[in-house]
Amino acid sequence: MGNLLFAASVLIIAGLLFWPRWGALDRWRAARRLEARERQEDALKHILKCEVNGQVPSMNSVAGALQIRNDTAAELLADMERRGLVSHDRGRLRLRQSGRELALHVVRAHRLWESYLAEQTGVAESEWHHRAERQEHLLSPADADALAARLGHPVRDPHGDTIPIVGEDLKADVGQPLNAAPLDLPVVIEHIEDEPEAVFAQLSAQGLRPGMKAYVFEKNPERIRFWADGREHVLAPTLANNISVALLPNLQAQDLFDEEYLSRLQMGQRGTVLGLTAACRGAERRRLLDLGFVPGSTVEVEMVSPGGDPTAYRVRGTLIALRREQAGLIRITTAEDTSP
Q: What is the pLDDT of residues 263-307, one digit of tens each?
A: 888 888 889 999 998 778 778 888 899 999 999 999 999 888 887
pLDDT value at residue 147? 95
Contacts of 103 (CB under 8 A, 6+ apart): 41, 44, 45, 47, 48, 95
- Kindly state the DSSP code that residue 52 receives in the 8-state scheme: H
Is residue 339 very low, low, confident or very high in pLDDT (cuts 50, 70, 90)?
A: very low
Is residue 85 very low, low, confident or very high in pLDDT (cuts 50, 70, 90)?
A: very high
| CATH superfamily assigned to domain 260-335 | Ferrous iron transport protein A (FeoA) (2.30.30.90)
pLDDT value at residue 338? 41
pLDDT in tens, 95-126: 999 999 999 999 999 999 999 998 888 788 87
Look at the pTM and tell me if it is higher than 0.75: no
pLDDT value at residue 12? 61
pLDDT in tens, 51-83: 888 888 999 999 998 889 999 999 999 999 999
Query: Across all residues in the chain, what is the average pLDDT?
Result: 85
Q: Do domains 6-95 and 260-335 have the same CATH topology?
A: no
pLDDT value at residue 340? 37
User: Residues 248-260: what's their mean pLDDT?
Assistant: 89
**What architecture is the 176-257 domain classified under in CATH?**
Roll (2.30)
- CATH number for the 97-171 domain, one of 1.10.10.60, 1.10.530.10, 1.10.10.10, 1.50.10.10? 1.10.10.10
- Among candidate residues 33, 41, 34, the one with its CA nearest the CA of residue 102: 41
- Among candidate residues 209, 214, 158, the one with its CA nearest the CA of residue 188: 214
What Cα–Cα distance (Å) separates residue 19 from each residue in 5, 33, 164?
20, 18, 41
pLDDT value at residue 337? 44
SS3 readout for 249-313 = CCCCHHHHHCCEEHHHCCCCCEEEEEEECCCCCHHHHHHHHHCCCCCCCEEEEEEECCCCCCEEE
pLDDT over 60 at 17, yes or no? no
Whether 164 and 129 have beta carbons less than 8 Å apart is answered as no
Residue 139 dihedral angles phi and psi, to the nearest 5° = -80, 130
DSSP letters spanning 120-168: H----HHHHHHHHHHHTTT--HHHHHHHHHHTT--SB-TTSPBPPPTTS
pLDDT in tens, 205-227: 888 888 889 999 999 999 999 99
Fold for the domain defined by 6-95? Arc Repressor Mutant, subunit A (1.10.10)
- Kindly state the DSSP code that residue 85 receives in the 8-state scheme: S
User: Residues 174-179: what's their mean pLDDT?
Assistant: 85
Rg (CA), the chain: 26
**Domain residue limits, the chain:** 6-95, 97-171, 176-257, 260-335
pLDDT value at residue 18? 55
Do β-strands 92-95 and 86-89 pair in parallel, antiparallel, or remain unpaired?
antiparallel
